[in-house]
Each structure stands twice: as C-alpha cells, then as structure tokens.
Structure 1
Amino acid sequence: MDEGISHPLTVARTALGLDRVQFANRIRGAAKRRGLHSGVDKQRVRKWEVDGVTPDNVSQSYIGEVLGVPAEDVDPAMWPDWLPAADGGVIPLGPASTVPALREAMTTTMNRSRRSFMSAIAGTSLITLAGAWASADTQAHAVEQARAGKSVDEEVVSFLEETSERLTTMATEHRQHVAPLLDAHLTAVANLIAEGRCTRPVEVRLLALAANLSQTVAWHRFDLGLHIEASKYWVAGLHCAHQGGDRDMAAALLSDLAYQASWQDNPRTASGILERALSRTRHPAARSLLQLRLARALAAQGERKGTFRALAAAEHLLDAACGEPVPAWCAWFSEADLAVDSGQCLRDLGDTRRAHELISEGRSLLPPSRDKTRGIFLLYQAQNYLDVGEPDQAAAAGLESLLLAQRIGAPRCVQLVRELIPRFEDYRETQGVPELLDRVTA
C-alpha cells in the first residue's frame, strides 16, 4: 500500500494529535488497564496503516478505546469501516457559526451507527479553537437580518427555560431516565435560534439555554463513553456562549473539553485549552475551577512547579469575594472538590500519603446530593488505599463506588471500578476483595 494514501486509522490517529509511537503507547495502556499485555509498537501500527494488515480482535478493542469509540460499535468483521472518519477540524467561531455547530452535534447523534459520518476532533484543533475564542476582541453579536420565520414568543422561551432547568438540575439517579427530553429541548431551542425572529435580549436567552443544554447533554454522552458526541456538544455550546457574549460559560465549555482530554490521557491538550480559557474567564469561582483542572493536567505531565502554582491559585480564588453570583455551571464547586483533586495531583507527583489524606478529607466534605461525584471520589480513594497497601479498605471503597454507580445509572463509574480490578489480583483472600470481584463479574 502506498504510504501517501491515508488509511482511516491514520486519519483517526492524527486527528488526536498522536504519532505512531504515542498511539502504540496508548494501546499498551488500554491493555494494561485490563491487567493484560499488548506488544503493539510503532512498526505494528505502520503495518495496519500502510501494509493493510488487519489487527486482531483484541487489538481492535484497544484501538476503539483509544479513539473513544464505544465498545459496542467496534466490529472486527467490519475493519476498517467502523473507524471514525476524523478530519480533526471544528467549525470556526463566527456570527453565523452557532446553528451549524448545533446541527453538527445533533447529526452526530443521529448518525451514531454510521461511523463514517462521525468526526473526532484533534487536540490541536481544540487548542486552536480555544485560542480563537481567547483572542476575540469583542463578544459576538447577532447579525441583524430579516427572517421569514415567526416571531419567537417570550412565553415559549420562558417555558423552555423553566422545564430545561428542572431537567438539567435533576439528580443523576433520575436524569438518566429523561435524557431524550434533554435532547428534544435542545432541538427545539436550536430550531428557534435558526428559524425564529427575535430581539437581541430574547436571542441571548435562547443562546444561554442552548449552551446550558449542550453542556448537560455532552456530560451525559461522556458518562456513556460516547466521547465523539460529547466533544461535538461541548463545541456547539461554546459557539452558543460566544454568540451570546457569556465569557464564563464559554470558558466552562472549554474547561469541559479539557477535562475530557485529561480523561483520555492527553493532558498536554488539556493544559493548552485551559491556559487559553483562563485568559478571559472572569468570576473567581470559575477561575478557581479552571485552575484546579489545569493543575490536574500539569501534574499528569510531571510539572511540579506549574501544578503547585495552579493549586495555590485555585485555593485563593475559591475564597475570593465577588459582587456577582456564582455561575450556575460551577455552583457545585466546593472545598471537597479542591481537596480531592489536589490529592490526585499529589498522587500523580508521587506523594501518596498526603494524597490519601486529602482525598479522604474531600470525600467527608462532599454533600449527600452529589452521588455521581461521590462514586468518583470513592474510586479515587480505592486507588489510593491500594497505593498505601490497604487492600481491604480499597475493596470496601471500590464496592461502595460500584453499588452507587449501578444504582444511579453511571456507567463511567462502573467502568472505572472494573479497570481497577487487576490491582486486586494479589489480594483475592483479603477481606472484602472476594465480594468486590463477585459483584463486578455478576
């Protein structure tokens, strides 16, 4: 096969900003998380891309995980057709970009089973998008033009705002059952933005609603492991927030994209996005959250000075006085989150004892209403109990996290517990471990 012809795997890989060595490392990491070994190296990746060699079924499952493709969509018999067609691009910010970005996100969901229509977003493209937003001289404004559609009634907007707020603030345990309603609300709002005639104040309300709904839908997709869809919705929300002139909400959506990049073991992309997002974020609580996520990304890269500088900024900003209310999207952010994520930073930097103390402290501070976060915190605690040689405590925390995740319908948390199981292999006779293993395999 000609090296100049782009194989679908080459396109998808480069869309993530990975060379063959980095891609092979990610595949070996996917195997390691399952307690297994993969011998994939850059030469093997080249054989797949250039020589037309078909990866075995297990390797294809690892490839799918690295590319963010749900396991059920990885069909070895259909190689390479199940791979995402990744062009690495995003719709540029502009006065007419909001509706196309929303449509692209919704189309991605509708075409979920048709992988060739789904485009992953390269890390470099996300950093470029963040930079374009950060360097914008003024907020975006609507292009004043006559439209053929009907005038948007404020009563309709108020109804959508009220019902959307109830849906987006619903407890995770219940929100899993109303996800289609969130999608439907976002579709309705997108249609009003695209087809209706409205004053600028009404348009700003619609854009704010679309940004909020896009963010909630994106997190739902993220929790289900649908990473391509999640990124598309976050990007669409960014366009809405930018068009509406809401800097802090735009920064929030960039921060969520950075969180996803860190989750997918791409902290360099995460830090690049966050550094640009912080340049225009205003509210202290919002800046605190972004600094904390930046600290996590820097710690994952082993950058001690940058990590501690970001942690200090996050702590200072969290307590800073401000005459404006805390933005709704970060109203949940608290000392509990600061403690736990600080602990995770220290864990990445090798200070497991102090990390253990901070994570335990953060878990104790977490309010009862935040079940999904509690599940993640319990998982972090299980990891750290293993780090300090307390497998019985780790099993107890892991089991509690698993049961909680199953009850509230949080598949991301369930998967995290499953990925931790190989670390319990040497402790099968330890108290609590057999029950955890039985629950995971049930």
Structure 2
Amino acid sequence: MSSTTFGEMIRRARRERGWSQARLAEVLCEVSGRTTVTRQEVYRWEAGRRIPCFWLPYLANSLEIPRNQLERATVERESSDTTLDPAATLSALMPDGDPLAHIDDPDGRRIGAGAARDLTARVHALRLADDVLAGGDLIAPARREMSAALRIYREGTHSDEVGRSLLVAIGELAQIVGWIESDAGEHTRAESTYRIGMAAAQEAADMVLVANVAGSLAYQWTNTARQQDGLALARAALDQAGPNAHPKTRALFFDRVAWAHAAIGEVKEAMRTLDAAHHALTEAPEFPAPEWAYWVTDDELKVMDARVYTELRRPLRAVPLLHDALQRYDATHARELALYLSWLAVAYADAREPEAAAETASRMLSLSTEVASERTAERSRVVLARLTEFADVPEVRSLLDAA
C-alpha cells in the first residue's frame, strides 16, 4: 500500500478545514505545548517521508480522525514495500530549512489581493520576456523578482486566501526563474530555486504546479547527465498531477517523460509516451488551462516530437516536422530558433545529408553568437561534434574550420 494511505488521510482532513500545512503545524504546537512542529514536517508526513508516531494522538484530536485509524495506516505504511511513490519522490526534493517561514513583524505591512495580482502579472511578464531573451540577459532581474516575492510573503501579513495566491505566484515565479538560471548555465542555483517553487506550490495545494516545477527540474537533470534521475522525476511529476489535470499540462508532462526515455535510448517507451501526449492534447478541457501553459500547442508538441525522433536517430520522422515548424517560427524567438535548428542539423547528419546539415548548422551558429544561453552553446558543441564525421565534405570542412 502506498504512503497515500496515511499521508492523504491527513492532507484531506487538513484541507477540509481550510488549513494550510503551516496552520496545522501551529495547531499541533498549541495543543501539545511544544514548538517543534514546522510546515516542513507536516509536508513530510503527508508525502509519506516520515511517520509522526509521537504526534498521532494530537493529529487525531486536531483533525478529528479516529486514532486507531491513523495507527492502522502507519502500520500498513511500514509493512509496505519501500519503493518511493511520486509524493515521496517529490518530498525528497524539499529545500533545506523553511524558505517560506513567516517572519513575525508587528509592523509588517498588510498584503491584499491587489498585491497578489500584481505579483502574478509580473510573473507572466517574465515568462513572455523569456520568449525573446536568453538566460544571461534575464538572470539578474529574475532573481530580484524572486527575492522580492519571498520577502512580501514572509514579512507581510495577509489572509489565508491572499497567502495562497502569493504561494501560487511564488511557485510559478520559481519555475521561470529556475528555467532562466538553467539557461544561463547556473544549474545548481536553478535546482535550489525549483525546490523553493515546489515547496510553495505544495503549500498552496496546487499539485499541477508542483508537477510543472518538478518536471522542469527533471528536464534539467535529463540534459545534464542525470538521465535516470530525470526520468524518475518526470514520471513522479506526471503521476502527481493526476489524470484530471488540464489536457495541455498533461501533454507537457507526458512529453517530458518521453524526452527522458529518449535520452537513455528507450525507443518503445519514448514513442508510446509521445502518443499519450498527443492524445491528451486532443481531449476537450473542462476548465481553463493554467496561464503558464499558454505556449503548449499542437505545433509546439510536433517540435517536441521532432527532438525526440532526433535523439532516437529517426531523421525521416524528425526532418519534415522541424522543417515545417521552422518555416512558421517567430524570428524574435532567437534562442528557440537556434535550438530547433540544432536538432534539424543533427537530423540531416543522421540522414546522411552533410551539405544540408552544414547549411543548417551555419545558420544555427550565427544565431547562437547573439544569444546569452548556455543551452544554445551546448547544442552548438553537439552539432559540431556530430559533423566531424563528414569533415571531408567541403561545406562541412569550411564550417568546422570557421568554428
């Protein structure tokens, strides 16, 4: 039996009362006379990472759950297999300490719904800026936004509803800031930022946002020689989001799993997951998609397909998709344009078309020199290494000499 038997029992009862994890920790401290329970600890209980034996009677009393029911759930948890479930996988990534802990300040300013809306708007503006600017250009202002958002949440006073809105905005902000840091080559810093985002989204009970932030970290791991970890985390993110998440988000999460499978050469699994992504996107949504999923479209999914096909050495599938997408792609999105050209160049090389590969690579390298992105720099190295096989072809030789 999975840890959700015990953890979900607590989570459900807490949410029925409208309590955050921090509020439950406060209640437990009040009824026990101790001050050793934190929001982080409640998160670990709910995720199945720890069993709160001492706190069982206080949990039972505070959440009005029969104590024997809680005790039975802990026994079942301890006797089950030790394979981590998705919640436990994500729990292990919680940041050290508690970066979201409130700082008691009697003079702290009151934060209203307007401030939360303003923060949400700035987060989306940063996403749109990332469409046309690279990580090296955005990393400084992005980090300033992150610091300011955390300060507003921790130092201000606000209602539970406003607090949740701030947490959601912080989770979304951490995702885009982590993405920007990763694009700038700051992978360790990006991972730390992603962890904060997961904690904020978890505290806000926005599990689809948790999945998006975790999936972004999984994508980074897959691309930085941690393919097995990336696959495990991408799967956990997909499972955590659940089958009722918006079709756009499920398509994105499936695609990240497919990319992770492709990175370790698991052809059947990658192809099957790509099919699942397309199937998800055809489903009729019952509610609006999160704002952060604005870019997930059928065209973008086809580009993702092409990248997977290129990674799997399937150029006959990859080339038509990339060629078609690049004809319609917005030229102002220079980083993405360079990245997509890099996969097209490799696909041409795999198709034994070195002249076309050299021409495409030349365009890609020209764009890359104008983009402050470690992603494009790494892809440039990959493309040049792939073309060395054709060094005797004049067009390739010229390109390699110039590079």
TM-score (norm 1): 0.63
Cα deviation, 1:40-65, whole Å, max 9, x if unaligned, reads xxxxxxxxxxxxxxxxxxxxxxxxxx
**What corresponds to 1:168 in structure 2?**
127
**What corresponds to 1:291 in structure 2?**
254
AA aligned opposite 1:238: M
**What corresponds to 2:379 in structure 1?**
416
**What corresponds to 1:305 in structure 2?**
268
In the superposition, relative to structure 1, how do residues 126 and 237 fare at CA in structure 2: closer, same or farther (>3 Å)?
Answer: farther
Query: Does 1:345 find its partner at 2:308?
Result: yes
**C-alpha distance in 2 between matches for 1:92 and 1:307:** 38
Which residue, 179, 191, 196 being the options, matches 2:139? Answer: 179
**What corresponds to 1:61 in structure 2?**
none
Q: Contact between 2:258 and 2:274, CA under 8 Å: does it hold in 1?
A: yes
**How far 1:226 sits from its partner (Å)?**
1.5
AA aligned opposite 2:399: L
Residue 146 of structure 2 aligns to a residue whose secondary structure is helix
**What corresponds to 1:232 in structure 2?**
192
Q: Contact between 2:201 and 2:209, CA under 8 Å: does it hold in 1?
A: yes
Query: Does 1:401 find its partner at 2:360?
Result: no
Residue 280 of structure 1 aligns to a residue whose secondary structure is helix
Looking at secondary structure, tell me which structure has more helix per residue. 2
**What corresponds to 2:111 in structure 1?**
152
**How far 1:298 sits from its partner (Å)?**
1.7
Q: Contact between 1:130 and 1:254, CA under 8 Å: does it hold in 2?
A: no
**What corresponds to 1:32 in structure 2?**
none
**What corresponds to 2:203 in structure 1?**
243
Query: Does 1:271 find its partner at 2:234?
Result: no
Q: Contact between 2:194 and 2:217, CA under 8 Å: does it hold in 1?
A: yes
In the superposition, relative to structure 1, how do residues 195 and 125 fare at CA in structure 2: closer, same or farther (>3 Å)?
Answer: farther
**What corresponds to 2:182 in structure 1?**
222
Residue 279 of structure 1 aligns to a residue whose secondary structure is helix
**How far 1:271 sits from its partner (Å)?**
2.0
Which residue, 206, 217, 225 being the options, matches 2:166? Answer: 206
**What corresponds to 1:334 in structure 2?**
297
Q: Contact between 1:339 and 1:361, CA under 8 Å: does it hold in 2?
A: no
Give 5+ residue unaligned stretches, structure 1.
Answer: 1-90, 98-123, 135-141
In the superposition, relative to structure 1, how do residues 214 and 384 fare at CA in structure 2: closer, same or farther (>3 Å)?
Answer: same
**C-alpha distance in 2 between matches for 1:328 and 1:201:** 19
In the superposition, relative to structure 1, how do residues 426 and 333 fare at CA in structure 2: closer, same or farther (>3 Å)?
Answer: same
AA aligned opposite 2:375: R
**What corresponds to 2:55 in structure 1?**
none
Q: Contact between 1:336 and 1:361, CA under 8 Å: does it hold in 2?
A: no
In the superposition, relative to structure 1, how do residues 437 and 204 fare at CA in structure 2: closer, same or farther (>3 Å)?
Answer: same
**How far 1:348 sits from its partner (Å)?**
4.0
**What corresponds to 1:115 in structure 2?**
none
Q: Contact between 1:379 and 1:416, CA under 8 Å: does it hold in 2?
A: yes
Q: Contact between 2:174 and 2:197, CA under 8 Å: does it hold in 1?
A: yes
**How far 1:203 sits from its partner (Å)?**
0.9
Residue 182 of structure 1 aligns to a residue whose secondary structure is helix
**What corresponds to 1:44 in structure 2?**
none
**C-alpha distance in 1 between matches for 2:376 and 2:103:** 47
Query: Does 1:355 find its partner at 2:318?
Result: yes
**How far 1:166 sits from its partner (Å)?**
2.4
**How far 1:170 sits from its partner (Å)?**
1.4
AA aligned opposite 1:337: E
**How far 1:127 sits from its partner (Å)?**
7.1
**C-alpha distance in 2 between matches for 1:251 and 1:364:** 32
Give 5+ residue unaligned stretches, structure 2.
Answer: 1-37, 45-82, 94-99
**How far 1:362 sits from its partner (Å)?**
3.8
**How far 1:340 sits from its partner (Å)?**
2.9
Cα deviation, 1:385-418, whole Å, max 9, x if unaligned, reads 1111112211221122222222232232023213
Cα deviation, 1:1-38, whole Å, max 9, x if unaligned, reads xxxxxxxxxxxxxxxxxxxxxxxxxxxxxxxxxxxxxx
Q: CA RMSD in A?
A: 3.3
State which structure, 1 or 2, has the greater radius of gyration over its C-alpha atoms. 2
**How far 1:423 sits from its partner (Å)?**
3.2
Q: Contact between 1:225 and 1:412, CA under 8 Å: does it hold in 2?
A: yes
In the superposition, relative to structure 1, how do residues 215 and 94 fare at CA in structure 2: closer, same or farther (>3 Å)?
Answer: farther
**C-alpha distance in 1 between matches for 2:155 and 2:302:** 46
**How far 1:328 sits from its partner (Å)?**
2.3
Q: Contact between 1:336 and 1:363, CA under 8 Å: does it hold in 2?
A: no
**How far 1:199 sits from its partner (Å)?**
0.5
Between the two proteins, what is the percent identity of the paired residues? 23
**C-alpha distance in 1 between matches for 2:148 and 2:198:** 18
Give the count of matched residue pairs. Answer: 317
